[in-house]
Structure 1
């Protein structure tokens, strides 16, 4: 029985050359993978520099929505699968610190969506932030997305005595990552930033 694509349930070989199938093993077919638009670059947003894996297009948005809001946890691995080896090498000396989600949203989903995306990396992680109230950026007017100062705060956990990687799944305005960076930027060790998806408009502002 041939392997099936986790997204379209078609043959995993669809859209792949023989070389790609043998050398670039994946959990989704080539047709689906090619609909993700790669970024793979550092994007400067104000005072922060964020390494982004994908541009935020309709296919990315729909896939992430099905994972997070339709609770299709099987899709957790599709976003990072082709990047695992590279990310492991790039950030092997870092502690991963994830953007906080609201307690209500986690209870509704039944899982922590952002840490699960990175489960296959088996990284060292720490939780340094929390949300003081329910707040969803995508439901806010663009101008209000920057007003997160009183919503994302530091918790009581101590900063790790090593380099930190601040991580978010989607960077639409940069407000969340900027706030996280603001809270730890005086850390004695390096602070880097990573997002899985990024709004392409942010890359045109550089």
Structure 2
């Protein structure tokens, strides 16, 4: 297929650019995974659900040095192609489980989104849902990575909502 065809399977790992067929795993034979085995193993999967202000929140990975670096490459260096790296282990599960859901995405700074040319969390959510609610916004400019653990626990005070009526009467997954 042509290299500009978005449905074409890349033959290189999205993260390290190693040829995917160099160190193939069984998972690569049964599933379309855009990462090499070495990079896949760097994700520390925890997949746990917690209650966040009475809404379910699923945490997929530990925020370790690898994940922090990958997130910076995606958001800070504008590496849009990495959108497919974050959920590749869960893609089919998310495609099936959330296909009929409205996905509410955490906000990014509008200014930062315009600079990078995409909204990082929304772009990842679009890989498994066409129904995205992006009505949450930051009331003030801040970087989550600059906040202490205690400040992160109070981040809801720094976020507001517009067009919230679009979510009224909707059911939520209560897992």
TM-score range normalised by the length of the shorter chain: 0.7 to 0.9
User: Which whole-Å deviations, capped at 9, do the CAs of 1:96-152 have from their partners, x for residues lacking one?
Assistant: 011111122212222111111122213311223211110112112332233435421
**Residue among 143, 146, 167 paired with 1:136:** 143
Match of 1:16 among 2, 18, 24: 24
Greater length-normalized contact order (CA 8 Å, ≥ 6 residues apart): 1
**Contact 1:38/1:55 (8 A) holds in 2:** yes
CA–CA distance in structure 2, aligned partners of residues 98 and 4 of structure 1: 29
How does the TM-score come out when normalised to structure 2?
A: 0.81
- How far did 1:95 drift? 0.5
Kindly tell me the number of residue pairs found equivalent between the two proteins. 166
TM-score, scaled relative to structure 1: 0.70
Aligned alpha-carbon RMSD (Å): 2.4
Larger deviation: 142-151 or 106-115? 142-151
What residue is the counterpart of 2:11 in the other structure? 3
Contact persistence 1:94–1:162 (CA under 8 A):
no
Query: Are the counterparts in 1 of residues 103 and 125 from structure 2 also a CA contact under 8 Å?
Result: no
Q: Is the 8 A contact 2:46 2:62 kept in 1?
A: yes
Are the equivalent residues in 2 in contact too, given 1:130–1:154 (CA < 8 A)?
yes
Structure number with higher strand proportion? 1
Whether contact under 8 Å (2:75, 2:116) holds in the other structure is yes
Q: Following the alignment from structure 1 to structure 2, what is the Cα–Cα distance between the partners of residues 111 and 136? A: 17
Gapped runs of 5+ residues in structure 2? 1-9
SS at structure 2 position matched to 1:99: coil
Counterpart for residue 60 of structure 1? 67
Q: Is the 8 A contact 1:15 1:29 kept in 2?
A: yes
Structure 2 residue matching 1:94: 3-state secondary structure: coil
Residue 181 of structure 1: aligned partner: none
Pair 1:96 & 2:78 matched: no
In structure 1, what is the Cα distance between the partners aligned to 2:173 and 2:137? 18
- Equivalence for 2:172: 190
> Which residue of 2 is the match for residue 71 of structure 1?
78
